[in-house]
Amino acid sequence: MIYTLVKIKEMADGDEDFILSIVTAFLEEIPQDLADLEEAVNSRDHEKAYQLAHKIKPNVDILGMEQTRILALDIESLSKNQGSFEEIEAKFPALKRDVLQVIEELQSDFGI
C-alpha cells in the first residue's frame, strides 16, 4: 500500500463519511487530471502541465503519498519555470504508476 489515511483521519476527527467523501472525490477527479497531465506532457505544454501538477500535488499529499507529491512538485516547478521537457517526461511515468496504483488500492479497500 502506497497511501495512508493519517492526514485525512486527523482532519475527519472520526467522521467516516468525511473520509469516504475525500476518497470518492480523489477517485472521481484524479484519473482525468492524470490523463490531462499526460496529454500536456506529451504535447510539451508547460502551462497546462504546471496547472495539472499543481492540482494533483495536494491530492496525493493528503493521502500521504510523499514520493508522489515530490514528483508532482518537481513537474510543477519544471513546468512553471519552462524547464526541460526531457526531465518532465522522465518523472511523469513514476507519478502515473503511483497514482494508478493508489486508485486501484482505494477502489479495492473502499469497495468503490
Helix/strand/coil for 4: coil
Nine-digit cell string for 4: 495512508
- For the cut 80, the answer to whether the pLDDT of residue 2 exceeds it is yes
Q: Which helix (H) or strand (E) holds 27?
A: helix 16-42
How does pLDDT run across 64-106, given as a tens digit for each residue?
A: 999 999 999 999 999 999 989 999 999 999 999 999 999 999 9
- For the cut 90, the answer to whether the pLDDT of residue 1 exceeds it is no
The reported pLDDT for the residue numbered 37 is 98
What is the pLDDT averaged over residues 5-25?
95
User: What does the domain layout of the chain look like in residue ranges?
Assistant: 6-110
Q: Which fold has domain 6-110?
A: Four Helix Bundle (Hemerythrin (Met), subunit A) (1.20.120)
- For the cut 90, the answer to whether the pLDDT of residue 36 exceeds it is yes
Q: Write the CB contacts of 103 (distance below 8 Å, at least 6 apart in sequence).
A: 27, 30, 31
For residue 89, the one-letter residue type is: E
Q: CA–CA separation, 53 vs 19, rounded Å?
A: 23
pTM: 0.93
The reported pLDDT for the residue numbered 70 is 97
What is the pLDDT averaged over residues 38-45?
97
Separation of first and last alpha carbons in the chain = 17
Q: Write the CB contacts of 57 (distance below 8 Å, at least 6 apart in sequence).
A: 69, 72, 73, 76
